Structure 1
């Protein structure tokens, strides 16, 4: 059970994200300052920096949670589980706990990644960090089945499949009207992309 302080902190964090998304949509990413985001969220600039180190960081609010979900799925593995089963389970777990990957922020993030170099750089860094961290845990869990290179390739295929599916899904006009359906289609597309690992 979360404490009142934790709930208040989470509300403030979400208020910052929502304020930033609104300003980015109206004024553009580069035309929005951190001071303006803080003002819109009704906090001070110092408080902003206690939550996020930069504008780029707040565009990726769930990155750590997604890595944690993958690591948790690997750690909770059953004897019959294959490496790819755990990656797909982690994606399902993330989709069941929140709809961030099918949110207006996700669509905005995708658009900014394609048009703003600083955001593109941050997105690539987040993706690489996630790939290395998840691959390290996966290889450690299956040392007789995967070496470090194979684990990195499998996780790279997984992350690439999710990212590729999201790029197309979020560009659809009615993408955000049914987040659960979008997530289901992303899951199905990722499973199809990883079928060679499932059939192997």
Structure 2
């Protein structure tokens, strides 16, 4: 007599891993297409065809192309915030921000390796910097991130962020450096992490002299 009982359902852990693999495959396919042929010239159909899944599957994981374009950026921003939280309380705000930025670049490959190759993220970052529609979104997101970081700095220093402007001023200065660095790096030919890290460090080191000294 044949045992016709249904096979047991996959364990939740296995199901979640399969979903993660599908999402990561869609993400990698989308980013490869974006950097190869441009964000605006890439369709959802092309992304799903590359992974051999349906549009319905794509929209199960991402609301639209914009969300998939910034999915890795979300990871990078969370990685930086975690690096900032890990800085010792003995460091002043600007020093903590500076070291967190550089530490985040130094450990970026490790943070992203399970999702996308770091060089694919760097090429996507260049794409964001050079695509007006994506750059506008990036600037809006950066403003939201600045507020989050300013509140974290205020918490570190025991300050009321709404009563003391210093956390927002410090974060605005560092964020301004990051925007300048991103723009200059995006215009160059070296798309490596080492390149943007060097440029970031050099620009961060100019915050104090630029604000505190005469230029002539």
Q: TM-score range by the shorter chain?
A: 0.7 to 0.9
TM-score by length of 1: 0.76
Bigger helix fraction: 1
Runs (4+) off by over 4 Å? 3-11, 99-102, 144-148, 196-199
List alignment gaps of at least 5 residues for structure 2. Answer: 1-12, 110-117
Query: In the alignment, what sits opposite 2:172?
Result: 156
Is 2:129 the partner of 1:110?
yes
Q: CA deviation at 1:130?
A: 0.6
**Structure 1 match to 2:137:** 122
Q: Residue 42 in 1 paired to residue 58 in 2?
A: no
Structure 1 unaligned blocks of 5 or more = none
1:70 CA drift (Å) = 4.0
Are the counterparts in 2 of residues 67 and 133 from structure 1 also a CA contact under 8 Å?
no
Residue 102 of structure 2: aligned partner: 92
Return the index of the structure with the highest Cα Rg: 2
Normalization by structure 2: what TM-score?
0.71
What root-mean-square deviation, in Å, do the aligned CA atoms of Structure 1 and Structure 2 show?
Answer: 3.1
Q: Give the structure 2 partner of residue 140 of structure 1.
A: 155
Q: CA offset at residue 132 of structure 1? A: 0.9
Check whether the contact 2:130–2:186 (CA below 8 A) recurs between aligned residues.
no
Aligned to 1:57: 67
Change (3 A) 1:95 1:134: same
Count of aligned pairs between the two proteins:
190
User: 1:181 corresponds to which residue?
Assistant: 194
| Distance in 2, Cα, partners of 1:69 & 1:198 | 28
CA gap of 1:74–1:20, structure 2 versus 1, over 3 A, is closer
User: Which residue pairs with 1:24 in the alignment?
Assistant: 34
Cα shift at 1:134: 0.8
Contact 1:73 1:87 in 2 (8 A): no
